[in-house]
Structure 1
Amino acid sequence: MLKTLQFGDKSVTFSTSFAWTLIYKSQFGRDALPILIPIIRETANTKKKPDESELAMTFLERLGFSGVVEIAWSAARLVDFNIPDPLTWVASFGDDFEPLDVISDLFPDLILSCFASKKSKAPIPTAKKATTTKK
């Protein structure tokens, strides 16, 4: 599935296919799942379900800004192999790249792609600001 997010006047299309994890490992030399799974476990084991902003803050706190950029870049790179290196790519957005919005709008689909298939009965997350298109 493809998802398009708007950063100022620029639109970026991301692939939420599981293959983003392979791009991530190829570029950054480590697997993304050992980084994400503890965060998912931590938020799933809380007594009360965290709201969207609490969840986004937890991801940002654990991943840091660079981790959010690395994951987002990997999903964008899967769509367009001509995008520049991660630093140049994120710098091209200036102040319009908002990590909390990226986490809220993109990460639910990226995480779901790691653990569910089209045949799965896993719930499908919804995003308010993103446009979704099927490839």
Structure 2
Amino acid sequence: MERILTIDGRQVKFKSTGAFLLKYKVQFNRDAIKDIFRLAAAIDKENNTLTDIDAFDLELFYNLVWVLAKTADPQLPPPVEWLDSFSEFPLMDIIPEISDMIFSCLTSTAPFKKK
């Protein structure tokens, strides 16, 4: 899944692949599934709005966003350097646009089978 967003006047490409969770683990030495569930508790996926500010961790969000961008562009600089290249990074505009890319790794495309 790919998406291009305009952030601070620049076209930024994001890409989610089957290796997304592993890339996150390699880069940040954290379990992406646990971090995604933590963010999921803070976001109303139906309305794409922030519902629990205490459960929302900006670092986790920035890390996930960076991995999606790094997957699309392997030449991307390290996370802080990349984020520092933007004069603004409007989270509330970005969250609804890429939340499906982040949460897609938690869903199944095949129906569950009973044994």
TM over 0.5: yes
Using structure 2 for the length normalisation, give the TM-score.
0.79
More helix by share: 1
Q: How far apart, in 1, do the equivalents of 2:4 and 2:54 lie? A: 24
Q: Which moved more, 1:79-88 or 1:13-22?
A: 13-22
Q: Secondary structure at the match of 2:3?
A: strand
Corresponding position of 1:77: 70
Correspondences of 1:108-123 after superposition (within 5 Å) = 108-117=100-109, 120=110
Alignment gaps of 5+ in structure 1:
122-135
Cα deviation for residue 31 of structure 1 reads 1.2
Cα distance change of structure 1 residues 88 and 18 upon mapping to structure 2, 3 Å threshold = same
Deviations 1:43-90 (A, max 9, x none): 68xxxx86322xx354x6424222111000001111111100000101
Cα deviation for residue 5 of structure 1 reads 0.9
Q: Which moved more, 1:21-30 or 1:103-112?
A: 103-112
Cα deviation for residue 16 of structure 1 reads 2.2
What CA RMSD, in Å, does the superposition of the two structures yield over aligned residues? 2.5
Q: Which moved more, 1:17-26 or 1:81-90?
A: 17-26
Cα distance change of structure 1 residues 26 and 50 upon mapping to structure 2, 3 Å threshold = same
Q: Is the 8 A contact 1:12 1:76 kept in 2?
A: yes
Q: How far apart, in 2, do the equivalents of 1:73 and 1:85 lie? A: 9
Q: Is the 8 A contact 2:35 2:60 kept in 1?
A: no
Q: How far apart, in 2, do the equivalents of 1:100 and 1:43 lie? A: 11
Q: Is the 8 A contact 2:39 2:61 kept in 1?
A: no
Cα distance change of structure 1 residues 38 and 7 upon mapping to structure 2, 3 Å threshold = closer
Corresponding position of 1:131: none
Alignment coverage as a number of residue pairs: 111
Q: How far apart, in 2, do the equivalents of 1:20 and 1:39 lie? A: 16
Q: How far apart, in 2, do the equivalents of 1:69 and 1:43 lie? A: 15
Q: Which moved more, 1:108-117 or 1:74-83?
A: 108-117
Q: Is the 8 A contact 2:48 2:95 kept in 1?
A: no
Using structure 1 for the length normalisation, give the TM-score.
0.69
Q: Is the 8 A contact 1:72 1:102 kept in 2?
A: no
For 1:51, which of 47, 51, 76 is the aligned residue?
A: 47
Q: Secondary structure at the match of 2:57?
A: helix
Corresponding position of 2:21: 21
